[in-house]
Structure 1
Amino acid sequence: MDALALQATFSDLTTPHVADACLRVGVPVRCAPAAVRPLWPGTHVAGPALPARHGGSVDVFLEALEHSAPGDVLVVDNGGRTDEACVGDLVALEVAHAGLAGIVIWGLHRDTPQLRAINVPVLSLGAYPNGPERLDPQPVDALTRAACGTHTVTREDVVLADDDGVLFLPADRASEVAAVATRIRDTELRQAARMQLGTSLREQTRFADYLVARDRDGVTFRQHLRSLDAAVEE
């Protein structure tokens, strides 16, 4: 699935929808640490991962962009460092000119007002005024894999990001996950609409019946929900 197809497929899906779908189809749920947050609300990003491991110089980002395609998402691995910012306005401008869909940083950014004006979605651990004072040797795999928290991201991954955070999933399962996420979303929308009209969630999920089945047969709430095709949790 190319970048345009990914954006169209996931445009109306949230990261919670997709995370629940991953659980349902057996795809490991790989979320960036909760501290990786968008710079502004209303962020929604979907695209192929473009990894880059930062060693103190922006040249690794420029080299990554040499191999990028419009709609990619730059995933920057700066080891979660909080003593330097590794992405600023010039990198963000170059990313915008290359047509990328966004930047996810396992580290810090700077030039916050300029980044907001450039308007390429950025998610990071926060802002910091000082850039790198080091220059480490560039690893041979600096452009093929990036860490984000405990997870490794490669060109075989898709990046999804919104106000709830960042999710990585294998590109070869994206269509399957999206189809299930769409069903979960639609079920939740129907349940919410019924709640607005006065039918409680307990009524919709036949919660009293669940309590009986739990005490009698050891049924879990998730098993009960699956039997009703209801959505609250996976």
Structure 2
Amino acid sequence: MSGVIVTNPPRAAAEDVEALAAFGVATVSEAMGRTGLLGTGLRPIQQGVRVAGTAVTVLSWPGDNLMIHAAVEQCGEGDILVVTTTSPSTDGMFGELFATALQQRGVKGLVIDAGIRDTRELREMDFPAWSRAVSAQGTVKATGGSVNVPVVIGGQVIRPGDVILADDDGVVVVPRERARETAERSGAREAKEAGSRAAFLDGELGLDRYGLRDTLERLGVEYKTYEEYAGEGS
């Protein structure tokens, strides 16, 4: 497998990434029309952490982390390393030594559609990571691949410089051209949710706030007392 290492790709503006960092993955995905989620298979090795950064992408051979080594050189302040493989892999391709090198370069975290190891050390270092698997299985450094090319995870295309946002709920990608618009839409959505939260704290029901009683009626859902319901089966 040959490959390519692309240098200095365009990146989303730092102020737009910072704006998106204020919102959760669910809010951002909803603001984009329920798109951008990288699937349910990527899980955090820590809890209570949210990161946002620009993607440096890696396409590797399964069980081979050579291209992660190559990608470290391409990473800088505010980036998130995004790794996937040419076919499914759960080998532990990334660990504490990689995290040390990336942290020194200002990288905010890792998203890997494969295995990760040294998870205790990564938590102690405060280096957040989301992975497909946790595995102590080691890897080789023998096959070419690519860095900073478009990759696909969970059916979503991630290009270098796109915004990656990750938290306890998962990972979402925001195309770099849509970063500012998505941040604005996310803010509007949070403001709307704040109004609903206040209403629910005041005792209002979602059935009434969202006009869902009419929806139930339109769908033919009926209210019956227990006696009425029980009597139908006798």
Same fold (TM over 0.5): yes
| Counterpart pick for 1:158 among 142, 155, 163 | 163
Q: Match for residue 29 of structure 1?
A: 35
Instruction: Please say if 1:172 is aligned against 2:174.
Output: no
Deviations 1:4-59, CA, capped at 9 Å, x for gaps: x2442023211111111111xxxx81221201011111121111110012235544
Q: Is the 1:106–1:147 Cα contact (8 Å) retained in structure 2?
A: no
More helix by share: 1
TM-score, with structure 2 as normaliser? 0.80
Letter of the aligned partner of 1:43 in structure 2? V
Within a 5 Å distance, the mapping from 1:119-158 to structure 2 comes to 119-133=126-140, 135-136=142-143, 138-139=144-145, 141-158=146-163
Whole-Å separation in 1 of the counterparts to 2:16 and 2:132 = 25
> Does residue 1:10 correspond to 2:15, yes or no?
no
Q: Which residue of 1 aligns with 2:225?
A: none
SS in 2 for 1:126: strand
Letter in 1 for 2:180: S
CA contact (8 A) 1:54 1:86 kept: no
Alignment gaps of 5+ in structure 2 = 1-11, 220-234
- TM-fit CA distance, 1:167: 0.7
Q: How many residues align?
A: 207
Closer, same or farther: CA 175–53 of 1 in aligned 2, 3 Å: same
Alignment check: 8 A CA contact 1:80 1:149 kept: no
How far is the alpha carbon of 1:108 from its aligned partner? 0.7
Residues 41 and 163, structure 1, Cα contact 8 Å, conserved in 2: yes
Is 2:51 aligned against 1:41?
Answer: no
Task: Give the letter for the 2:22 counterpart.
Answer: D
Identify if the C-alpha distance between structure 1 residues 154 and 132 changes in structure 2 by more than 3 Å, giving closer, same or farther. same
Alignment match, 1:184: 189
- Name the counterpart of 1:20: 30
Change (3 A) 1:57 1:41: same
Calculate percent identity across the aligned residue pairs.
27
Rg larger for:
2
8 Å contact kept, 2:66–2:142: no
Distance 1:143 1:50 in 2: 6
- Unaligned 5+ segments in structure 1 are 216-234
Query: How far, CA to CA, are the matches of 1:102 and 1:85 in structure 2?
Result: 16
CA RMSD of aligned residues (A): 2.2
Q: Aligned partner of 2:13: which letter?
A: D
8 Å contact from structure 1 (residues 16, 164) kept in 2: yes
Question: 1: distance between equivalents of 2:38 and 2:88?
Answer: 11
TM-score, normalization by structure 1: 0.80
Secondary structure at the counterpart of residue 186 of structure 2: helix
Letter of the 2:197 counterpart = A
